[in-house]
Amino acid sequence: MTPMRLLSLTLALMLLPVAAHAKPLKTNQKKCWDAAGNVISCAGTGHDGELRKGKRRAYVDNGNGTITDSGTGLVWEKLDEAGGIHDKDNIYTWTTTVTEKIATLNTPPCFAGRCDWRLPNINELRSLVDYGRFPPIPPEFASSCTAGCSIATCSCNKTFGYWSSSTYKLYPDQAWIVYFTIGYTAPVQKTSGDYVRAVRGRSS
């Protein structure tokens, strides 16, 4: 390829529109507050509740125990109260998330007919945090959760820590977790017991 053609190709690629999926998701905050915590008019504040930047969140229940996030392209496992592999109360160490939970989902015929389930990385897991709600989880992941319900009839969430596949660089014996209690992230010891929501697909 000649230098001129290479330059033309480079410029063409630079001028391509940014893909819609490259945009971060909205936080879902629609109100504004002052420093004392009082609700105020959002007009002219520049607060998140006024600007509402980002891609709209949209979730689809696929009817097979999974939820698709059309904003990221990821497909998430639903959790339930049925006592099996999808039970929201199941606890795993960082190692057993893969050797037990993920391995079970990927054992043929595999969960929802797909054998590529995995532990989400920290950015993927954080995409589920809905800052416009408390607890900060979209309702599609926490609805009709009653004792004994299955992923066919309910969607459950534990408001505690969920494992990601991402190791904490400073202390590699720890991994990042998202706490859906209030929506923050923190590293914890990989030998700790926490919760898992599996994912599949490639994040946008």
Q: Which of 29-33, 40-44, 185-189 has the highest mean pLDDT?
A: 185-189
91 and 11 in a single domain? The answer is no
69 and 115 in a single domain? The answer is yes
Give the end of a domain, one of 9, 30, 56: 56
Domain tally, the chain: 2
100 and 189 in a single domain? The answer is yes
42 and 66 in a single domain? The answer is no
178 and 127 in a single domain? The answer is yes
60-65 long-range contacts, CB within 8 A, separation 24+: 61/140, 61/155, 62/112, 64/112, 64/113, 65/111, 65/112, 65/151, 65/152
Helix (H, G, I), strand (E, B) or coil at 131: coil
117 and 22 in a single domain? The answer is no
107 and 135 in a single domain? The answer is yes
Would the pTM of this model clear 0.85, i.e. be above it?
no
117 and 96 in a single domain? The answer is yes
Please name the residues in contact with 68: beta carbons below 8 A apart, sequence gap of 6 or more.
59, 60, 62, 74, 75, 76
First to last CA, the chain: 31
Please name the residues in contact with 85: beta carbons below 8 A apart, sequence gap of 6 or more.
101, 104, 105, 111
Q: How confident is the model at residue 7 (pLDDT cuts 50, 70, 90)?
A: very low
125 and 83 in a single domain? The answer is yes
**pLDDT higher than 60, residue 28:** yes
40 and 69 in a single domain? The answer is no
48 and 65 in a single domain? The answer is no
pLDDT in tens, 88-117: 999 999 999 999 999 999 999 999 999 999
63 and 86 in a single domain? The answer is yes
Q: Which domain holds residue 169?
A: 57-200
